[in-house]
Amino acid sequence: MRDTVQRMDTFFDPKSVAVVGASKNVNKAGHVIFKNFAENKRRGVFNGELYPVNLTEDHILGYKSYPSISRIPGQVELVVIVVPALSVLDIMKEAAAKDVSAVVIISAGFSEIGNEKLEKTIVSVAEEANIRVLGPNCLGVYDNRTGVDMLFLPETKVLTTGDEFVATPRPMSGHIAMITQSGAFGAAALDYLAGSQLGVSKFVSFGNKCDVAEAEMLEYFLLDGETWVILLYAEAIEAGREFMKAAEKVTRKKPIVAFKSGKSGAGARAAASHTGAIAGSDRIYEAAFAQVGIVRVRDMEEFFDVGKALAFQPPATGNNIGILTDAGGPSVMAVDECEARGLTVNKFSDSVLDEFEELKKGGKLPRFATNLNPVDITGSATSEMFELSAKIMLDTPEVDGLIVLGLHHTPALQEDFVDRIASLVKQCAKPVVACDIGETEMAMFIRSRFEKLGIPAYTSPEDAARAMAALAQYGKHLKKTGCFNEFLEICVRRHGLRP
Amino acid sequence: MRDTVQRMDTFFDPKSVAVVGASKNVNKAGHVIFKNFAENKRRGVFNGELYPVNLTEDHILGYKSYPSISRIPGQVELVVIVVPALSVLDIMKEAAAKDVSAVVIISAGFSEIGNEKLEKTIVSVAEEANIRVLGPNCLGVYDNRTGVDMLFLPETKVLTTGDEFVATPRPMSGHIAMITQSGAFGAAALDYLAGSQLGVSKFVSFGNKCDVAEAEMLEYFLLDGETWVILLYAEAIEAGREFMKAAEKVTRKKPIVAFKSGKSGAGARAAASHTGAIAGSDRIYEAAFAQVGIVRVRDMEEFFDVGKALAFQPPATGNNIGILTDAGGPSVMAVDECEARGLTVNKFSDSVLDEFEELKKGGKLPRFATNLNPVDITGSATSEMFELSAKIMLDTPEVDGLIVLGLHHTPALQEDFVDRIASLVKQCAKPVVACDIGETEMAMFIRSRFEKLGIPAYTSPEDAARAMAALAQYGKHLKKTGCFNEFLEICVRRHGLRP
């Protein structure tokens, strides 16, 4: 285990890196990758040694260039290979001679197009030399804490008009780790996460995963203090036994969210020609994920939505959800999705109903407010009504998690309802998610305010319900494995809760 | 029929309107609604006569105010009522005496809170006087062409900080009509549509629908030239027979997208306390919608996504979809969702494969590109590769609809691939939808460029697949009813296609 972690650490925090295929040509992947490292070194973020390897150049971006790894004077811990597939074997042999610890093969042209033999030969050379390999056919690693950035996709692109646009942004530092088989999806995910202002702890794309695969990455991320939730995109998982073992261990301490594609027949065929993956029966994955407590999602949007929920909020102790709203229709949508996902939205007991009736009698809630659950404080909603109702719902043990559908459109509602709810949420250890609908100024402000205060906020009632379902599912798994209380304590500290 | 249409027209284009409950108090719904009309009249958009009715005021916003409808000197076609429920019956009696044609009751406090009796009495007065009633407990009508705007939710709101934010924007003029039972969802939908730059032809929220319900609105929208697709949100549809009859007629000429909530047990209970709706069995709705060719959606996001597709694109003649991408993972996701929705993504015939192989031989496509369908032109994608591949796929009768997953992250891809594809799309009558993933500058630009050129663009591969499934489902219904060719001709004219 310790050894695994140390070896994996070489990919994310190497003391020395050689980029084979580093180039002066700005359109080459080898240029972009080398420049990422060089820039991060200049900024003092990447602190390892850095060596460009290029047959013809003397210097690249001010660094002395070497014609081969063997000519590099110092030690080389990590080699990043960005040259055509047919040259990779020779470079691997040189890496072996140089006593390199780890290699990332960015290059494509291996098993995904039928060149299994070449890939296997490379792996056997690596094994003999005790080198761990990431890739081939991948984006490699991105870790903005250590400055390791192998993404060959440029951060900005120049349009035909000459304007420069942000194209593949690097997300800010945060607590979501991502493991992806597909590099293209990985790049897109970084774009999504950056634009959604979700922070990433570590990112790894391992493509064909000829050597390092899911299991070891999971073990590594388990011990990474920055990582609170692990997002895993896979088209196939080959080393099933190791994966299950690792996942079982990890989910006792950290949630894993899996997005497994290639479910359908044609999807599996597409996956096979994409990363050479043999997808296998989807039912087997479904059962395996459930067994080890992995939260499986159904589509891309749910992947990020659920990841955000598990990063921001504690798990639920049970299945019964309270819904608080000022908008009747959207609350019906949320209830539908809760039930579809195995949650309940039970009518409150008389004692809870009495608390609401007291508020009504005192003129604190509209007479016509519905309080059976969902609690609909109607279009007359004010910040105070949201606060008073949320308090009852967070206090009662009948509610295991709260969905706040705080639609801002109602005339009397002021935006400070968000702050009021957030302050109540800090005083308990129950999960809360929010939704406001709309794509203009106020809706975006309300959602971003919720998130700034630690409450994940969604653009539709169903998205919020799905996020809550994941919090309940993970809570259930933690209970089953006897790890709930320990995990909850971690959440309490992380999120500064005062239950 | 003609009579129905004329009567419905009074709600959307009245020659004279009285707002009962018009107020000087800016926090009152009666103020906002009267001001909407007054402002639109000042701008020359609303051209009818306008009368405020208020017991105590002399003038409101420069208009002479009347203590009752009966005191208004001229004719009053439409009355908008914004006073407490208990006063509504008296006003209805006055409206009857004044020979009013139509009344919108914005006020709540009727059957949704158990006051069925009051609602019934009002309806019987209306019936006797031959007055059509919209509402109660609703937002009423918004039509930006005629300047009728009964939305009492202010366009902007002032934050506690003093900043003024857009809160309930009015969307631009366009071709999506919306019918909603829930007012709150209606307001949210307008916010969503406005922010997504989707234009609306007409909007109606009829809440408890004590009189006018879905059937008549559908008939009215059928004849509205501005309306190309009808979005319908309902928690229950009571007049089942009329609804089915109207829907069947409409779907031969215009697509109807239905979002029926209250599916689950608890959801139905929530719906009942929201608009007094008795939801009934969801299976009955499912079967009924299918029978009359209504496209049913599963959640809020799909509602708008599918609406956009049906407004922008012609229906598909069949079920087999081509997928063109530069991103392997996302294409697997799209295939999965296509198959889940009953579409196929069949491998191409040899003759089509040969066309791709020719391109590869000529160096026009990467050697490693996958062309079985999905066609994955890989991270080496250029605009030309997208164009050449799209042409093959649009030309072959094997493809009934095309999904373009044009992820902008690949280094060599220029944004003009969008324009090149759009120009091919104009030369055929096949539906095409697009997707780019990401939430920063370039992703938003690519999606908006697609939409500007008439191709609906989505944020996830699954969203794009769902949109395509709706285009295929509607196409199938048109074929079944023998209306496909006629509808396609309309699309060809509308979208300026040159097949």
Q: CA-CA distance, B133 to B98, in Å (whole number)?
A: 15
- A338 and A219: one domain? no
pLDDT exceeds cutoff 70 at A1 = no
Statement to judge: residues A43 and A188 lie in one domain = no
pLDDT of residue A271: 74
CATH number for position A57: 3.40.50.720
- Using the predicted structure, report yes or no on whether residue B280 has a pLDDT greater than 70: no
Last residue of a domain, one of B285, B312, B339: B312
CATH number for position B415: 3.40.50.261
For residues A244 and A247, what is the distance between their CA atoms, to the nearest angstrom? 5
Angle (CA) B123-B128-B129 rounded to 5° is 100
DSSP state of A157: E
Residue of B160, B181, B305, B336 for testing the chain A interface, max A β-carbons within 10 Å = B336
B293 burial class (0-12, 13-18, 19+ CB within 10 angstroms)? buried
Mean pLDDT score, A357-383: 94
Residue A205 half-sphere exposure, CB side, CA atoms within 13 Å? 25
**Shortest Cα distance, chain B CAs vs residue A409, angstroms:** 6
Domain identity same for B278 and B343 = no
Residue A143 lies in a domain: no
The total of structural domains in chain B comes to: 3
Which chain A residues have a beta carbon less than 8 Å from that of B412? 27
Residue of A409, A436, A446, A458 to mutate when probing chain B, most B C-beta within 10 A: A409
pLDDT tens digits for B146-178? 999 999 998 999 999 999 999 999 999 999 999
The verdict on a CB contact (< 8 Å) between B332 and A261 is: yes
Locus of tokens 């250890």:
A429
> Same structural domain for residues A278 and A384?
no
B268 found inside a domain: yes
Contact (Cβ atoms closer than 8 angstroms) between residue A224 and residue A11: no
- Residue range A148-161: average pLDDT? 93
**Is residue A415 in a domain?**
yes
Q: Would you call A188 and B438 a contact, using CB atoms and an 8 Å cutoff?
A: yes
Give pTM, 2 decimals. Answer: 0.96
Rounded to a whole number of angstroms, the distance from the CA of A452 to the nearest CA of chain B is 17
Res. B417 pLDDT band, cuts 50 70 90: very high
User: Rounded to an integer, what distance in angstroms lies between the CA atom of residue B176 and that of residue B194?
Assistant: 12
Looking at the fold, whether B176 and B241 belong to one and the same domain comes out as: yes
Tokens in use for A213?
């695969």
pLDDT digits over A452-476, tens only?
Answer: 999 999 999 999 999 999 999 999 9
Global ipTM = 0.95
Judge whether residue B2 has pLDDT over 60.
no
Q: Are residues B332 and B354 in the same domain?
A: yes
Please indicate, yes or no, if residue A38 is contained in any of the structural domains: yes
Q: What share of chain A is helix, strand, coil (3-state, %, to 5)?
A: 45, 15, 40
Domain that holds residue A383: 315-494
B406 within 8 A of B446, measured Cβ to Cβ: yes
Residue A375, in any domain of the structure: yes
* Interface mutation vs chain B, best among A198, A440, A444, most B CBs within 10 Å: A440
CA distance A338 to chain B (A): 9
Q: Which of A152, A165, A192 has the CB atom closest to B437's CB atom?
A: A192
**Torsion angle in degrees (nearest 10) through CA of B487, B456, B380, A115:** -70
- Asked if residue A145 is part of any domain, the answer here is no
> Do A109 and A129 lie in a common domain?
yes
- Structure-token pair, residue A241: 């036994």
The domain boundary residue, chosen from A312, A337, A372: A312
Q: What is the helix, strand, coil percentage profile of chain B, to 5? A: 45, 15, 40
Q: Which chain A residues are Cβ-neighbours of B406 within 8 angstroms? A: none
Domain match, A238 and A343 both: no
In chain B, % of residues over pLDDT 90: 89
Q: Which residues on chain A are in Cβ contact (under 8 Å) with B323?
A: 270
| Residue A188, H or E segment | helix A183-195
Mean pLDDT for the stretch of residues A208-219 = 95
Q: Enumerate the residues of chain A whose CB falls inside 8 A of the CB of residue B182.
A: 327-330, 332
In order of A422, A437, A455, B95, the CA distances from A451 in angstroms are 10, 15, 5, 50
CB contact under 8 A, A438 and B195: yes
Average pLDDT over chain B, rounded to an integer: 95
Specify the pLDDT at position A421: 98
Buried b vs exposed e over A239-257: b needs ≥16 C-beta within 10 Å?
eeebbbebbebbbbebbbb
Same domain, B75 and B192: no
Cα–Cα distance between B152 and B155 in angstroms, integer? 9
CA distance A139 to chain B (A): 11
Cβ <8 Å between B159 and A261: no
> Residue A147: what pLDDT?
97
Residues A452 and A340 in one domain: yes
Helix (H) or strand (E) holding A450: helix A441-452
State residue A215's pLDDT score: 95
Distance from CA of A226 to the nearest CA of B (A): 24
B175 in any annotated domain:
yes
**A379 to chain B: which residues are within 8 Å by CB?**
108, 183-184
Q: Is residue A327 part of a domain?
A: yes
pLDDT, one tens digit per residue, over B30-81 is: 999 999 999 999 999 999 999 999 999 999 999 999 999 999 999 999 999 9
Nearest CA in chain A to B183: A329
Question: Which residue of chain A is at minimal alpha-carbon distance from B207?
Answer: A329
The domain boundary residue, chosen from B312, B337, B367: B312
Please give the Cα distance from B326 to B375 (Å, whole number): 8
- CA-to-CA separations, B206 to B178, B232, B273, B345, B410, in angstroms, rounded: 11, 11, 16, 41, 48
